[in-house]
Structure 1
Amino acid sequence: MSRPALEVADIFRDRGPAWRKAHAGHVSLEQLKVMSAIERCRTAELGGHVARCEDCAYTTIAYNSCRNRHCPKCQGAAAKQWLADREAELLPVPYYHVVFTLPAAIADIAYQNKAVLYDLLFKVSAETMLTIAADPKHLGARIGITSVLHTWGSALTHHPHVHMIVPGGGISPDGQRWVSCRPGFFLPVRVLSRLFRRLFLRLFLEKLVAAHQANRLSFFGDHIHLADAQSFAAYLAPLRKAQWVVYAKRPFGGPEAVLAYLSRYTHRVAIANGRLITSDQRGVTFKWKDYRIEGRNRYKQMTLATFEFIRRFLIHVLPKGLHRIRHYGLFAKGSRADNIARTRELLAIAKQEGQPTA
């Protein structure tokens, strides 16, 4: 694969030193490490190896990758291995795609408290899906979930949301049969939205307040006043009426479509090198997608001052140790293999008996 004409690494190497100097004391250690890794990726600084053809003696040097999960060049190999593992786990049923998005007011403080609030988004959204699926009025089964955290919008803005990939059915509570959802319809979105909001009121705010009382939250800039307990309570009060966004997309075309989607989403970073157009005195110009517009007109170009581009890229650096791909329910790590094996058995039985599995 040929190297893109412009890479994030080029921008960091060119303007990174000046940006770091201008923002000294206001950049986290993790962000500095990401910048350094991307700048050094596939250069002589990381070493490399020499490959030589035995027949024609052609020799080439391949430099080592940084393997940082935020590097636009280093996700291919990791994604390939991850996908190979998931391919072996795919079930012969339809798969559905659900997206949970944080409202802006929570997203604002999430940026300042990534580890706490991203974790809450994962847990509350997963509990929503598991709870409503277990309800006999809707599905009455234990389901499996693969969740992927994205923190960006197409213009590199802070937009935390979780993408969920869910099989169209689950195992009955007694473990004796596979329960299929209705064709083309997984769970009612209106019910999801109401339940997500109710869990948010009971769970999310509860845990958020507990984190505040335990001094696990940090605030700065325009939100520094939220360090005060009364100010924080007043800030949260209007959120009890906030509209949580739950978006259910059409079901995937089949297992191959699930893999194709996952290959694009699981190891994606804030911006791919292929979206960069130019970097000059005006700033960095890149392609972005305006989701408010339908059709071809949604594809546009944006130019940001170089320092602003760097800032936007770095706000999506995740805290050390925070996993951005998680599995719940039937796919939870400890019991995933056994649950998948049992699911295949139940699907085979349903097929033999002529029962629908989709």
Structure 2
Amino acid sequence: MSRPVLEVADIFRGHGPAWRQANAGHVSLGQLKVMSAIENCRTAALGGHVARCENEKCAYTQIAYNSCRNRHCPKCQGTAVREWLAEREAELLPVPYFHLVFSLPAQIADIAYHNKAVIYDILFKASADTMIAIAADPKHMGARIGVLSVLYTWGSALTHHPHVHMIVPGGGISLDRERWVACRPNFFLPVRVLSRLFRRLVLERLDAAHRAGQLQFFGKHVALTNARAFAAYLAPLRDSEWVVYSKRPFGSPEEVLRYLARYTHRVAISNRRLVALDDNGVTFKWKDYRIEGPARYKLMTLDTHEFIRRFLMHVLPQGFHRIRYYGWLTSQTRVRNIARIRELLAAPLIPIDTIKAVNAKPEEPKAPEHPCPCCGGRMRIIETFLRGQQPRHRRSPVSPKIRIDTS
């Protein structure tokens, strides 16, 4: 895949120093670390290695710099998602999978910005508890379900929009663990019922967090430190409709994997969405979800400092997990539960090592993981260099493209 013409790293390198200076004292250490990681990603600052083609007639030489592996870096998510998907593949079941989205109202999103760890955690747990409680109710499914949740904090225009995407198998284990309870065809759980319980759980937990002194307020929200003012701020939300969205079920486990690959390791904006960086600012593609059809795809230009501010707004607190599992998918019991479900479904348990072995097709010659771009041969590492060092070897010159002028 070719390198994008413009990258977030280019914006940070060119305008990051001025932005940091202009916002000194208002930038967290975590945000500064993310900026530094993205700026240094795949540069000599992180070290790297030199590889040369084993074909003596070719001897093509290339330099590869190390990745920062920061979870907010647009360039580092490909490897992370491949490793993660390899583990998920063995957990897929031969049942429909559903995609649900739980969103926080704008009033709560406003105060979540300065209370990320607390309110994002409430969002995760309230949405998962809602799903598990309604599914366990005999009026609906009467079963224990498994939930994979992924936190998104952004809208397409880089605005602050905290919401959770859930991938849920279409059914659950009966409460006595003796049978698999399938959901209705093309229907998982009633979204209105989910919405109302979700609303109640979030508001209850926000109130408890406020009473425990876990929330901080700044600027126009500083008055919310007062318990009465906070209660009045939340009061209109108790009667409003909260957004819970359920999409159609997936067609196959393979489709689930493709979907997970798109969703689980996203960052606030990918390099592919960047269009231009000039005196007007940063221009990027975005999607207006209020409009249907091709007209929803638009371009937006933000002042460069505003673009950086919006990007860094989505840096998560250190150690905060944005992919979580609930119900029978929790890590402590996941393997045992999946084995039991496969028994109930009469589906064979496929160990992950077996899946990897099948995918590798050992009876066929395995192509080089990183083939020579010149002849397709195998590249061999001939030198490694540490952070801040320059390699002793030089890369092979790039052959100029031949252009034919037919004018």
TM-score normalised to structure 1 length: 0.94
* 3-state SS in 1 of match to 2:333: helix
Shift of 1:323: 0.3
Does structure 2 retain, via aligned residues, the 8 Å contact 1:219–1:226? yes
With 235-244 and 66-75 compared, the bigger mean Cα shift is at: 235-244
CA offsets per residue over residues 160-186 of structure 1, 9 Å max, x none? 000000001011011010011111111
* 3-state SS in 2 of match to 1:16: helix
Matching residue of 1:162: 164
Does structure 2 retain, via aligned residues, the 8 Å contact 1:284–1:304? yes
- Of 71, 93, 97, the residue aligned with 2:99 is 97
Matching residue of 2:51: 51
* 3-state SS in 2 of match to 1:334: coil
Shift of 1:52: 1.2
Does structure 2 retain, via aligned residues, the 8 Å contact 1:103–1:243? no
Matching residue of 2:199: 197
- Corresponding residue pairs, total: 345
Shift of 1:205: 2.7
* 3-state SS in 2 of match to 1:148: strand
What percent of counterpart residues are identical? 76
Distance 1:190 1:233, change over 3 A: closer
Shift of 1:195: 2.3
Q: Determine whether 1:173 maps to 2:175.
A: yes
Matching residue of 2:290: 292
Distance 1:275 1:24, change over 3 A: same
TM-score normalised to structure 2 length: 0.83
5 Å-filtered alignment, 1:49-128, equals: 49-55=49-55, 56-128=58-130
d(CA) in 2 for partners of 1:182 and 1:207?
A: 32
Q: Determine whether 1:30 maps to 2:30.
A: yes
With 185-194 and 282-291 compared, the bigger mean Cα shift is at: 185-194
Shift of 1:221: 1.7
The residue type paired with residue 298 of structure 1 is: R
* 3-state SS in 1 of match to 2:6: coil
The residue type paired with residue 126 of structure 1 is: A
Q: Determine whether 1:5 maps to 2:2.
A: no
Distance 1:190 1:207, change over 3 A: closer
Runs of 4+ that moved beyond 4 A: none
- Of 326, 329, 334, the residue aligned with 1:328 is 326
CA offsets per residue over residues 136-180 of structure 1, 9 Å max, x none? 111111110000000000000001000000001011011010011
Shift of 1:329: 0.3
Does structure 2 retain, via aligned residues, the 8 Å contact 1:103–1:242? no
CA offsets per residue over residues 98-128 of structure 1, 9 Å max, x none? 1000001011111110000000000000000
Structure with bigger helix share is: 1
* 3-state SS in 1 of match to 2:91: coil
Shift of 1:239: 2.1
Shift of 1:189: 1.5
Does structure 2 retain, via aligned residues, the 8 Å contact 1:83–1:263? yes
- Bigger RCO (CA 8 Å, 6+ sep): 2
d(CA) in 2 for partners of 1:265 and 1:280?
A: 30
Where structure 2 has 5 or more consecutive residues not aligned to the other structure, the ranges are 348-407
* Structure having the higher Rg: 2
Q: CA RMSD in A?
A: 1.1
The residue type paired with residue 71 of structure 1 is: C
d(CA) in 2 for partners of 1:266 and 1:93?
A: 20
d(CA) in 2 for partners of 1:177 and 1:229?
A: 48
d(CA) in 1 for partners of 2:246 and 2:339?
A: 27
